[in-house]
Amino acid sequence: MAQAWRCKGLRWSADGPELAWEGGRRSALTWGKRVAFGVAEGGVRTCVGARGHACPVRAAVSGRSTGARCEDCARLDRAHSVAADTIADDPRPYHVYLAWFGPGMTKVGITALERGSARLLEQGAVCFSWLGAGPLMAARRTEELLRAALRVPDRIPYADKRAVRSGLPASAAERAAEVEDLHARAVALDAWPESLVREPCQPVDHTGVFGLADLPGAVGEVTELVAGGAVSGRLAAAAGPDLHVETGGGVVVVDTRLMTGWELLPTAGDGELTVPVREFRAREATMQDGLF
């Protein structure tokens, strides 16, 4: 029987997307590459632990959970987290950014300066620009300022991002337009925190990095992995945590966060899909000029 590997999710490196596995192994992903994996009969998804520590009881977790953590580990993971806004004393400098995922979908966010653009790749930002840099609390205040004054959200649902990826504007200039407009309005606000240094608008486009040019529309998305189930096909694109896999029935989105916590086996199938899939409605698959 083939060796099983416990998945740790998708990672973005300077060379592109990679699947990470427990023990340090990485599998590079390239466009057109065959992706094929499955769960053994009787397999169980177990908690991935928190903050670098294994779950002490290796608790079983739901196949539909994108966090793959039991309640205790999830609570511990968020107890000292910038993302969860439970830490205020991080001395590191932070970037404030504007990220665009499709028409009408621009958000504001923050990321540690030392991380560079990794956070934007992890979120699947098609285009982004830095807005400013400074201490954590100044960055947080800027987020709040943009939400209150310009009604800019700090979250865009992944379902909305997926719905528009195959029909994005053709030119980089069109994809950058909303970011440029919002950047100009943001830096003109009077209540800008003094300790946050404004940065010029310099849009960065990830269309090529994600492989989104000429991406076929997806017909559905995997909702969970199950014991005995398998996914195989050719990789059409990858954005954020999502793989767009071309199967026998069309392109299907696989959220790699659903793979974490499972021990996965290589499979020999080609275009096989024997896991639960939510089919997209016709409007989700074809309308790309707004939210649902």
Given pLDDT bands bounded at 50, 70 and 90, which one contains residue 286?
A: very low
Residue type, 33: K
Distance CA 281, CA 218 (A): 10
Question: Which pLDDT tens digit goes with each residue over 29-81?
Answer: 999 999 999 999 999 999 999 988 899 999 999 999 999 999 999 999 887 66
Least confident of 71-80, 89-98, 218-227, 282-291: 282-291
pTM for this prediction: 0.89
For the stretch 90-128, pLDDT in tens is 789 999 999 999 999 999 999 999 999 999 999 999 999
Note the pLDDT of residue 82: 62
pLDDT score for 78: 83
Cα R_g (the chain), whole angstroms: 20
Look at residue 15 in the predicted model and tell me its pLDDT: 82
Q: Check if the beta carbon of residue 180 is closer than 8 Å to that of residue 172.
A: no
Q: Rounded distance, CA 43 to CA 251, Å?
A: 26
Instruction: Give the three-state DSSP class for 128.
Output: strand
Closest CA to 139 of 194, 196, 100: 196
- The answer to whether 161 and 103 are in contact (CB under 8 A) is no
Quick: pLDDT tens for 10-41.
Answer: 999 878 899 999 888 999 999 999 999 999 99
Q: What is the pLDDT of residues 148-200, one digit of tens each?
A: 999 999 999 999 999 899 999 999 999 999 999 999 999 999 999 999 999 99
pLDDT surpassing 80 at residue 290: no
Q: pLDDT category, 85, cuts 50, 70, 90?
A: low
- pLDDT recorded at residue 80: 64
